[in-house]
Structure 1
């Protein structure tokens, strides 16, 4: 699994594993199932800090902790960074309009946006503060638009301005609405370039990455977290390595709750329930130029922000995501990320009427299946929206463990602020 040379970590080859543990056929009885029995027979290694999950939030946390002098090891079950939710979103920098005042989402979005734009400018990450229009397409939606204006103002979002329909349509001739809220602080960025930069920054500060590595379970012993890990694909088998660490940040995204349930000594009443909502995107084809220059969002719907228009930095127009609640997803499936990410072309039939409420000139046959993502939610259909959950020992009583639950939108925008918060609160 993992070997340490100085401050560098590397994956053992199969032959190295044989030299350490003996030939696999002869040593199987000496390999244990993590916490279930004789863990003393496992190869062990001490590391100061482990971040589980190399999505954008995990990367931001790893970078921040390494900048503050901590020895950081990042583990991810995939073959590279940012392969799940972080690469399946709208790539939007949110202003901070939608969230309840004083919530973590509001605080981290506002602070995160500031840090993110600063980071993108300093490290030359492609981005563009193109602005957003949230639109009311009927008079019945105007009170909801007024509420968003009120929330955004309370949250300290600068530059918000309510527009009459004709003013908004003058900005965007293809748009149809009766009123709109202009958010000039909203924007877009190249998420992959951002994550790649975070990886480089972390590595420059001696953080190390181990991909294709899954954390099977863990336990607390002598006030230190012990993690039992294996190569991806060995999730049903025995642990291959034991890590003894001072601080563990569970940033496993869709699998954060399922992983937390495998930490022996963590009371399950502190682990919130998991709910999942798939969101599909369709791309616009056949257009000579993008119909809009700004982001265009309808009034938010249950579980999401509505089927909106986003542009990427290459001018590609995307519509989405919609909301499709996924039921009966068991812990094992979420732990192994066994979600269905296929986009059913027939879902376009529901996209056309929703989009035409604000873009009536959308032509039949111009929507092509794009991609989908899964939102890691803490509440389900017909339930109030939930806030981010960031809990440490003061909440669950387990020393050296920080759990991140329900980090959905605005997780990308909030990533640097979440990292700052964790470093400020949990580093000793």
Structure 2
């Protein structure tokens, strides 16, 4: 677990009393579970862990209280305990009595030591602002930033977030959308980017699988506890993500998702990453919430186009009509979000041999009629140049294989007349 300070935490437990750290448990103890880490947990970490039981993600009122009072003092205010020198700390203001009463009830029941111990049992930990692993780009959310994050997995979140891209989209995606998401994620992972998504069915799952299949890095941001497999059909996938990458969320162990939590989860995905790619999204898709949040935060917003007749791509196309960038593969994504020099290859159509000809030579070639030979005088008139110039250009075209001589007449070679490229010959001749 991530913590600060070496002193015994003074934050109150759920019953309002300051209690000792939980007893170690293991094969030789009464609990029969793996021993909890011996690392001391500072009061700030303990207070913020408690607050994840008290408030819903993105609660800007509590975010303002945290900014004004700090986590330790705020939890004391909510539990009604006395702080040293405060003479009886008053409850924070700015909310109605009913809402404040709800905060107080949840604060009285919060047991952060129990949650931290539960997280430690499955290899989890808790990080919060000020800790070494906290990704500071989340601070761009202002008062809506997470109180803290519960993590599962070995990699360092702050390091991974520095080079991460979100790939999100429709749950009920088409085979085309799943293919594009998986291919994009695999290509990004191969380039050293962390693929971040929400572990949902459809595009999210395809993105995680693409990164995993390439042996790359992926992180899942959940709208529930990181120990809860949701959706249930992705239990195996989440296990693979936890083993190879990271699972993170704002809610404490055992918490279950709600519709509003999914929407609020999206702001974390947007703020955590360098940019967001949307692959298939209808007009009311939650993925558009992520994309628009990324736009507000100054992150790159990208979309993969689909058929104009597809309702599942209508939301993406709406984004592309605005400030989003059109991307079709991982190289184009990396060019936008990466460092200087990470350029996508130049896109162009097939190169024809006649494209390499000098302008005057090409004009003579264009003057030659199809299907019959022509005299020099006819070609000079058609190309608007002198007969001597035409003769010189015709011999050049003959050496490159474009034309053939028939006595005093000239005609297109069979390969040229049939649409052949003559690329090799043109390359030998140059311009």
Q: Shorter-normalised TM-score: what interval?
A: under 0.3
Give the TM-score of the pair, scaled to structure 2.
Answer: 0.22
Structure ranking higher on relative contact order (CA contacts 8 Å, 6+ apart): 1
Between structure 1 and structure 2, the one with the greater Rg is 2
Q: Greater strand percent: which structure?
A: 1
